[in-house]
């Protein structure tokens, strides 16, 4: 498994825990890394921290994007896993210019396949596809 994918998994597990039991970022990350089946490199830990910190620092804007593109789905209605997968991907799309949008979307779909319900990957792909399409339209107008 690639380092970035593992980082995304650890970030997802941490954000899931923060969302579910309102723990703090440090405790959630510590738990994710201590209870995993792998020994984690510094790079994996660093990118996980970037993702978790970035999502939490920009949560209001990210959640607004989720709400705008997840037609007829309130944030509370989206499963915790799907909501946090979307948050990670949207953070990457909006704030991490060094990661191609297609990679962020693909990684989110893979996380949804692994951790979500049987319909999670199509839901995540649909929401992120709308964001990607809208972004391309906006760029053409500029």
For residue 112, pLDDT over 90 is answered with: yes
Note the pLDDT tens digit of each residue in 114-136: 999 999 999 999 999 998 777 65
Of 78, 21, 29, 79, nearest in space to 55 by CA: 29
What's the token pair of residue 101? 């949008």
- Name residue, tokens 């607004």: 64
At 37, the pLDDT band (50, 70, 90 cuts) reads: low
Does the pLDDT at position 91 exceed 70?
yes
Q: Return the DSSP state at 72.
A: T
1-139: CATH topology: N-utilizing Substance Protein B Homolog; Chain A (1.10.940)
- Dihedral sign of CA atoms 62, 29, 19, 84 in order: positive
Question: Cβ(79)–Cβ(116) under 8 Å?
Answer: yes
Q: How far apart are CA 111 and CA 38, in angstroms?
A: 17
With a cut of 80, say whether residue 2 has pLDDT above it: no
Residue 79, pLDDT above cutoff 60: yes
State residue 59's pLDDT score: 96
Q: Report domain extents, the chain.
A: 1-139
In this prediction the pTM is 0.89
* 68 half-sphere exposure, CB direction, 13 A CA radius: 14
């Amino acid at each position: 498994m690639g380092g970035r994918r593992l980082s995304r998994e650890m970030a997802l597990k941490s954000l899931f825990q923060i969302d579910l039991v309102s723990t703090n970022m440090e405790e959630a990350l510590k738990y994710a890394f201590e209870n995993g089946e792998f020994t984690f490199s510094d790079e994996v830990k660093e990118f996980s921290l970037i993702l978790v910190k970035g999502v939490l620092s920009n949560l209001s804007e990210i959640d607004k994007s989720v709400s705008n593109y997840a037609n007829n789905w309130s944030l509370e209605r989206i499963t915790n896993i799907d909501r946090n997968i979307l948050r990670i991907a949207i953070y990457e799309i909006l704030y991490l210019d060094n990661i191609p949008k297609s990679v962020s979307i693909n990684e989110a779909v893979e996380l949804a396949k692994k951790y979500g319900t049987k319909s999670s990957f199509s839901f995540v792909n649909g929401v992120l596809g709308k964001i990607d399409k809208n972004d391309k339209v906006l760029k053409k107008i500029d």
